Amino acid sequence: MDYLAQLQRSVDFIEANLDDELSIGDVARAAGISRWHYQRIFRSMTGETVKAYIRARRLARSLHRLRHTELRVLDIAIMAGFGSQEAFARAFKKAFGVTPSHYRARGGGPLVEKTCFDEAYLRHVASQEAAREPKLVRCEARTFVGMRTRFLGPDSERNNIAERLPPLWDAFMARAGEVPGRVPDVCWGIVEQPDPEEDELSYVAVVEVQGEVVVPEGMVRVDLPAALYAHFEHRGPSAMLDHTVSYIYGAWLLSSGHRHTYGPDLERYGLDYDATSPDSVIGYTIPVTEM
């Protein structure tokens, strides 16, 4: 089964359970994809988070109930997953410009509502991306040493990358010279999800180490097994790196004939990286296997 079919299976699951409690873990399991990677693929393909999509679909269903049923607004609010009629009314007005009561009083009417994604739409979106092929590289086992933090990424509505990653890099770069046997001129960011049931991610700012491994106090060791990697180059400001990641997960991975192994993703910062230059290059690498 390919990723697009798995995404469609998850969308069908959402539609069948809109009136029930829905966790991202449940939806990811319905797709047969790990929680973190499911969220990244979903947002890359649709431009929104899973939670935002579910909320919009529940509001769209509430439009039909307001117009075609005699259910109380409070009951419709609860069915849409809101804890109170007031919270539902605020979200409804923000989405549609009128309150639920006003919408019902005027007998409904045309409003722009969130439609349900189907597989034809998802395949169309994937086909529109420019063809950018990565280098497929088979790497031997490697060892890294660096400093770790936890964060919530762009796929979470509580994204705190700006609070966690820059201070980590500042602290690590001030101490990178303490790591014996480090490979010069290249630093790496290693991204993984420690707990598949949680949104929080692990990020380690590291250097690769060759020979005897000595871990300075306050640092950690990371061992990566031999693997096949797809290596992409992001050109331009680092603030735009997420666009490259969206392309990787939202277009290339879906039609490449490869699957993510669910191992860590790697960011590469070499001599061609310059945070102030429009010609800066960041490598982004994902571990893959052939389908």
Last residue of a domain, one of 85, 102, 127: 127
The label of the residue with tokens 């990653």 reads 165
Question: For residue 256, what are the domain limits?
Answer: 135-290
- The reply to whether 284 and 142 lie within a common domain is yes
Query: CA-CA distance, 45 to 34, in Å (whole number)?
Result: 16
**pLDDT value for 130:** 42
- The reply to whether 107 and 41 lie within a common domain is yes
- The reply to whether 142 and 105 lie within a common domain is no
Low-confidence ranges of the chain (pLDDT < 50): 128-131
Query: CA-CA distance, 63 to 159, in Å (whole number)?
Result: 30
pLDDT digits (tens, 9 = 90+) for 13-64: 999 999 888 999 999 999 999 899 999 888 888 778 898 889 888 988 898 8
The pTM assigned to this predicted structure is 0.74
**pLDDT value for 121:** 60
Let me know if 271 is exposed, middle or buried by CB neighbors in 10 A (0-12, 13-18, 19+).
exposed
What's the domain count of the chain? 2
Pairing of strands 135-139, 201-209: unpaired
Return the CATH number at 93.
1.10.10.60
**pLDDT value for 204:** 98
Closest CA to 53 of 41, 43, 63: 43
